Structure 1
Amino acid sequence: MTARERELELEVARLRTMVDVLTRRIEQATDWSGDGYTLFERALSLQDEVERRTRELTTKHAELEEAITSLRKSEDLLDRTGQVAGVGGWELELEPLALRWTAQTCRIHEVPLDYQPDVEQAIEFYAPEARPVIEAAVKTAMEDGTPWDLQLPLVTATGRRIWVRATGLPEWRGGRVVRLTGAFQDITQQKAAEQAILAGTRRLENIIAAERAATWEWEITTGACRFNERWAEMVGYTLEELEPIDIETWTRLAHPDDLVISGKSLDAHFSGAEPVYEAEVRMRHKDGHWIWVHDRGTVLEWTDDGRPKLMAGTHHDITDRREAHDRLCEANLQLMAAEARALELAARAEAASVAKSEFLANMSHEIRTPINGVLGMTSLLLDTNLDPEQRRHTETIAASGESLLSVINDILDVSKIEAGKLDIEAIDFDLADTIEELAASLAFRAHQKGLELVARIADDVPVALRGDPGRLKQIVTNLVGNAVKFTHAGEIALHVDVAERSTDLALLQFTVRDTGIGIPAEKLHAVFDKFTQADGSTTRRYGGTGLGLAIARQLAELMGGRIGVRSEPGHGSEFWFTLRVQVRPQAEASPRPRTPLREVPVLVVDDNRASAEGLAAILRAWGARPVLAGSAEEALAILDRHCRSAAAIRIALVDLRMPGMDGFAFAAAVREAPHLGEVRLVSMHPVSRSGLDAQSQAAGFAADLTKPPRRAELAGAIDRASAPVGAATAAPVAVTAPAPEPPVSIPAGRRLRVLVAEDNPVNQRVAVGILRKLGIDPVVVDNGAQALDALGREPFDLVFMDVQMPELDGFAATRELRRQELPGLNRAVPVIAMTAHAMQGDRERCLQAGMSDYVSKPVSPRAIAAVVEHWCPSAVAAGA
C-alpha cells in the first residue's frame, strides 16, 4: 500500500470515529447539555458533511487505484521491452540512499527478479579491476552531476564473467543531485566479436604485407635474424655476403638518423601502444647510395614474463614513392600557400570598401586558372597506376584543392554580392526534379555517416516554377551539408511547404531539420554573420570558412526571402528559409507509374516515420492508398488482415535496414506464407550500401530503389512490381527541358573531331588529358584567331573555347564564327564556353555571343564527358 493510500484510509477512519462520538453525545444529550435539539441538528449537519467527504474520498481512492493499475501496466510493458532489447534499468535515491533494479537488470546479474541490493552490493558484482572505475563514476555523479557511459567486466551471481555497458544520469532538484538513473546492457557477444575482428584483421595485414616483399624474422632474446633473398637483393647483396646475419646486420646498413625513429616505433609496439611496428628508414645500398625502405612487423611470440621473443615483418622498397612524395609535398605546400593567400584576401575584403570587394570579384579568372591546372592534373594523375601511398598523397592534394576551391568560391560569392555583381536568374524549372536531384547527391554524404536523409514536398506546393534553381541548390546544399557535418546519429529532414500563395506567385518555405549537436542560445544571433561559427575555438572539430551561412542569408534575401534558425544544444537544429518564386502553369506531366493506382493499397514498410510519410505523399498524389508499417512485424500483421479482404495488398515497399526483423527477413517470411504469394516486394536501401541489387533479387524482390527515391525511379519500380512475372515493362519517361540546339550527328566510321582553344599551357594539358581519356585526340590552339583559322581549314564536331585569351577572346571568336560564311566552315558547330569567371551573368553572355553551352573552371572529367555525350551522342555510342 502506498503512502497516499494509507493517508486516505486514515482520513476515512477519522471521520467515522467523529460520527460515532457525535452519535453517542446525542444519545447522552440530557446529561451534559441543556439544549439537546440544537446539538442534534449540529450532529446531523456534521454527519452529512462526513458522508459527503467520505464519498469524495472513496471516489479519489478509486481513481488512485485506477492510476496505480495503469502505472503497473506501464512498468510491466517497460520490463518486457527491456527484456526484448536486453537493456535493464536502475534508480538510486540519494536521500535516503535506496537502490532499485528492474527485472532485466536482475536477469543480467543472474539474481532473483525481486532482488534489490544496496550500493555496495551492486558494486561488488563488478570485476575487481573495474570496481574503482565504477565507484569513481558514481561518486563524481553524486558530487557534481557528471554522467557516465562505461564498458566494464562484471561477475554474475553464478560466477560467469561478462562485459556490460553501464550508463548513469543525474537528476537535479534545488541545485543538487537527488537521484541517479541509468541503463544496464550485456555486451559480452559484442566484445567477443570485436576481438575476433581485430585478430582476423591483424592476420590479414601480415599476409598482405608479406606478399612479394622482403621478409625478416628477429629472435629478440638472442639477436639472431633470418632474411630472405629479396631482403639482401634490395640492398645489393646476396645472403652469403651478409653472413653472419643478426640484428647488427640491419643496424649497420640503416641510416644512423633513422635508427632513432625505428627504435621509438619498436618501443611503442613492444609496450602495446601500437598494434604493429612500422617505420620508413634509409638503408645503404652495396654501391653506396641510399634507398628508402618501408619496414613493418609484429611480435609473434612473447616470453612467459611478457617480453617480446620473436618478431617477423617485411621490407618494401619505397624509394620511387618517397621521391614522388617529396614532389607532391612541394605541390601541396604551394596549394597551402595559395589557400593562405586566398584567406588573406578574404580578410582584407571583409575590412575593405565596396571597391576592394569589386576588385576581388574580378579576380575569379586569375585564381581559378591555376586551380584548374592543379585539380585537372591531379585528376589525370589519379587515373594512372599509383601504389597505395602515392594514391593517398595524390588524393590529399585533390581534397586540398577542392577545399581551397570551396573557400575561394565562398569568398568570391561574398565579394560579388557586396559588389552587386551577383545576378539572380529567372528561368523555368521543376521544383520536384530539383529537390530530388539535390537529395540524391546529398544522401551519399549522409549515409556515409549512418544518417538518413528524408526529403518531402507538401502536396499543395507548386512545382512548375520560374526562378533561380542554381542558387536554391546552393542554399540547400549549404544547410544540408552543415546538418551532416554536425549530426552524428539520427536523420536529416528537408521539407518544402507553402507560406503564401497567389495565382502566379508563391512564397515557399524550405526547412532543414537535424538531430545533431545543436547550437547554444548565445551563438544563435551570430550564425549568419561572415567569418562566424558556433564552434569558433582554436580546437575546432568541424572546420569551414564561416562564410556559408552568411552567403545563404544574402542569397535568400536577394531572392525575396528570409532565413532563420531554431536550435537547442543536444536536440538538433532547424534552419529555414523562404523564397519568392513565380508559379507557371503545369505544362509538363510529372513522372508517374503506367500501372493504374487509383484506390490501390500500397504497403510502405519503414521504421523511419518521416521517410514513410514522404513516400506516402507521392503515392497519394498518384491516387494510391498508402498503408504504413513501422516494422516488419507490423507489416506482416497488416498483410495477414488484408489478404482476407477485398482490398488485398499486392505491392509493398520495404526498407532493408530496420531494427529487429530487417527487410530480407521480412521478404523470407512473406515468401514462406502461401496466402501472401501474390505480394510483390520492392526493396529500399541507402546509396552507400553496395551489392544489394543482386542480393535483393535473390531474396525475391521485384525491384530495387535507393533512398530517398526519385519519383521516376519509384514509378518504374512500381511498374516492375505490378507486371506479371517474367514480363518486361517500360521505364517511366522523365520529362526534360529541350536542348537549345540539336546534338551533332557523326557519320558512321568517322572519329570525333574536337578543337580546344586555350591560352594557358597547363590548362591545355588538362583538357587534352581529359579528352584523350574519352578516346578523343583534340587539336589545340592558343587563342580565338587561331581557332577561326583551324575551323576554316578543316571541319570540327565540337569546340571548347576559353572566353579570356589574348589577341581574340572566346566571345569575339564565337561571334565571328557565327557571322562568317567561308567555304567549308561549319557555322553551326557547337561551341562550349570554358570560363573561370563563375559569375552568374556569364552564362547569358556566352549564349548571347552564340555559344552553345557553358562549363565553369576548374573543369572536371565528368563535366567534359557530359558535354561530349550531350552534343555528340552518336560519337559516344560509336566509341568516339
Structure 2
Amino acid sequence: MADIQTIKNSPKLKRPEFLDPEKKTSAARMADRVLLLGLGVAFAYWIFASLIFALTATSGTFVHNYFNPGLNEVLSRLLVFCFFMIFGSHVGYTMRQRQKADEALAGSEEKYRTIIENMEDGYFEIDFRGRFTFFNDSFRKISGYGAEQLRQLDYRRLLTPAETQKVLAAFGKVNRTGTNIKDLGFVIVRKDGARRWVETSVSPITGRHDRLVGYRGLLRDVTRRRQADALQQEKMAAEAASRSKSEFLANMSHEIRTPLNAIIGLVELLLESPLSREQREDLKVVQSAAFALLSVINDILDFSKIEAGKLELERSPFNLRDFLGEALKILAVKAHEKNLELAYRVAPDVPDRLVGDHHRFRQVLLNLIGNALKFTDSGEIVVFAQCRTVDADHLLLHVAVRDTGVGIATGKQALIFEAFRQADGSTTRKFGGTGLGLAVSAQLVNLMGGQIGVKSVLGKGSIFHFTIAFDVDAKSADGPELPDDMDLSGRRILVVDDNATNLKILCEMLASWKMVPKPASSAAAGMALLKKMGNSGAVFDLALIDSDLSDSGALSLARQIHGRGGDTTRVVMMLTTTTAKETAFYNETGVGALVTKPVRPSDLLDAIIKALSVAQAPAEKRVDNNGSGHDFSLPPLDILVAEDTPFNQKYIRRLLDTWHCRATIVENGRLAIDALDGQHFDLVLMDVQMPEMDGLTATARIRDLEKKRDRHIPIIAMTAHAMRGDRERCIDAGMDDYVSKPISSIALLEAIRRVVPMPDRKPESVDADPSTSAGDDDGELSAILEAFNNDGAFFKDVADMFISDYPPMVETVKKAIADRDGALLSRTAHALKGMARNFQIDGAADAALQLEQLADQKQFGMAGIQFRTLADELAGFERRLKQMVARVSED
C-alpha cells in the first residue's frame, strides 16, 4: 500500500512528465552534455596549463608549450583529462540510472492507479478524525455521494447507529492488535436513503516510527448475494413446508383410510345379513358416504402431488377399446341404478394399441363420467374417441364425454376447472363435491400433452372433451379380430336396443367384422324383423338383445325366438349387471351367451363365437376319419407345464395323465427355464400371465439359450382370449402354437400334434363315453362334459378339485381386499378367472377379471363390491355343479 499512498496525491489521470517522449529525449541530451562538458573542462585545463607554463618558464613560448610539452606536463595533463572524462561519464551514468528508476516508479504508480480506479470493489482511506483521505470511483458509486461530498463527509454518516458501534469496535481491534480484519459485514445508508449490504476488510496505515495514522480497506456491495441467500432460505423453508404437508397428507390418508376400510367392510357384511328395509337403506347411505369420502381423499392426494411436481407419468402399452370398456364398467352399476345408458364409441380409424399412462387416462375419464353421473338424472352418457392427429408413431386422441344432464351456465364454464371451484358454490347447492376432480383432471391432461374444455347448454346437457398424446404400438395387432379358422362374414345379426346411440355403436362393431346387422329399437320391432326374415325363407344367425328393454320385452323376445319352429337363431343377452341368479335364469331360458354392458368389442366377439359355436359345432370335428370317434392317443411325452394356478395345474396334470404323458409342473417362467436346464422335455405348455416371470419373457429367454445348444423345443402358449392379436404376440415371442382358455382337450391335442412329430400309427377307434347322451336336455352339462372329453370320471375328479379348492381362494381374495394387498388380490383373482373359464362360468370369470383390474388400480373399495358378485357366482355354480356330478354318477 506504500505505492498507493504515494500516488494518491497525484493529479487524477494526469500523465507524468517523465513518461513524455520529448522529456525523455531531453533527459538523454542532458547526460550527453555533462560528458561533453567534462571534455571541455579537460581541454580548457590543457590551455590554461600551457599558458601558466609559458609565463613562468625561462624559455619557450605558449605555442611551443601547448604543442610540445614535456613528458611531465603531458602526463599531468592526461591525468586531468582522464579525471574529467571519468567524472563526466559517471555523472552521465548516474543521471541515466536515475531516469530508469523514475520510469519504473512511474510505471508502478500508473499500474496501481489503473487497478484502483477500475476495480469493482470500493477502496477507501480514512484518518483518525473519520474523514476520507482517499477513495476510488467504485466507492463513490456504492455510497452514492460525489467526490467533493465524500472528502467533507465523516464515515459515520454512512452507518446506522447500530452499525456504527460494530464498525468502531472493528477499528478499535485493528488499533489494538495492528492486524487486519476480513469480511466485516454491515449495512450502509446511501445518499438516496437506500440501504445496501456491504462487506469490507480493514488494515492499518502507519507513518513514521510505525505510528498508526489511519485505516484503509476494500468495500464490496453484497446486497444481491444476500437477497439470493434470503430467497434460497425461503425456498428451503417452502420445500420443508411442502414435505411436511406431503407427510401430513400421507399420514392423514392412512389414518382416514384405516377406519374407512373397517366401515366399508362391516357395512358390506351387514348388507348381506337379514335386515329391515329401513336398516338396509340407512346402511346404503353409510356405504355411499364412505366411498364419497374415499374419493375426496384420493383427489386431495393427487392434487398435492401435482402441485409439488412429484407426479410422474408411466408408459406402458394398452388396448384402447378394451380399456374404455373396463373403465366404464366400474361405473356401470351406478349408471344402472339411475336408469342411465352408459356406452362408448371409438372411431374405426383410431389405432387400438397405444402406449402411454393409461392409469392417469382412466382417472381423467372416470372423473368426467362420475361428474356426468352426478348431474344426469335421465337419458344417457356416451364416451366418444377419435383421432385429432395421427402418424405412424404418434397419436393425439380426442375424447368427449357427452351427457344429458342439467348443463352448466355460460358464466360458470371457465371456473369449473379451477381448484375448489364449482358451478354452484352456494350453501343451497344440490350436488356435493370438493371441486377438486375437474381441477386434477385438467392438470393431468396438461401433463400428458393435451388440453381440456367443456361445451354446455343449461338444461340440455354437457360435453366435456380433452386431448391426450399417445404413442402408437405399431408392433401389435390393432383391435380384436377373429381367429384364422373362424369366419363370421355375412352372418345375419338382429340387434335390439331401445337406446339409439348404443344401437348404432353395436351395429358398427358387427359391421367391422363383416357381419350384417339389422337394428331394431324395441322388442316389437325385433319380432317384426324376425317374421319378415322368416317369410323370405331365411333366418337370423344370432340375436343380440338388450336385457333392459321395457315391459320385460327382452325375455319375451328370447322366448318367442326359441318358440319358433325350425328357427336356429341363437341369443346373446346384453346385461347391465351379471349375477349368479341372472346367469342361471338366462341359461335356463336357452340364451347362448351373456355379455355385460357397456359392451367391449372383445367380450362381444367372444360371446358371439361361443353362441355360434354351440349352435353349429360340426359333428365331424369330434370324430376321426374313420367315423368311429376322436382319437385321443399320444406317444408317452415328457411335458413341462408352466402354470401358476393350482386348479389349472391339477386339470392339466389329470388331462395329460389320461393321454399317458408325464407332466412336470412349475409355477412361473423362471422355474421353467431352470427345469429345462437340467432335464429333457418333448414339449412345454406355457401360461402367458404368471408371477415373477411371464410366459412371453420366459419363451424369449429359452429361445436365446437354444441358440447356444442348437436344439429347438416346441412351446405352446395358453392364453385367455381367442384374439388374433394374442396369437401374434405369442408367435412373435418365439412360441410355436397356442390354445385359448378355457382349455379344450381337442384343441390342445391338435396343437400338440401340430408341433410335436408323431410316429406313424394306425388310428384306433374309441367308443363314445356313455356318460353323455345326445338327447340330454341339460345344455350346460353337455358343454362342460365336451370340454372334459366326455369323460365322466375325469369330470367328477376335476369337479371335486373345484369344490375343495375355490373356497380358500375366495377367502384369500377377501383377506387381500381387507389388507389392501394388490399383488395377492391380482394373483388370486387371476387364478379364479382361469378356474371359472375352465367350467365356462362367464359371470364369475368376468367378476374375477374386474377384481384383477381393480387390484392393479388399487381401488379396494370397488373391489369389495365386486368380490360379492364373484362369491355369489361361484356359490351358485357350486350348487349346480354338485347336481351335475350326481347326474353323471347316476348315468
TM-score (norm 2): 0.42
TM-score (norm 1): 0.43
Determine which structure has the larger strand proportion and give its number: 1
Radius of gyration: which is bigger? 2
Determine which structure has the larger helix proportion and give its number: 2
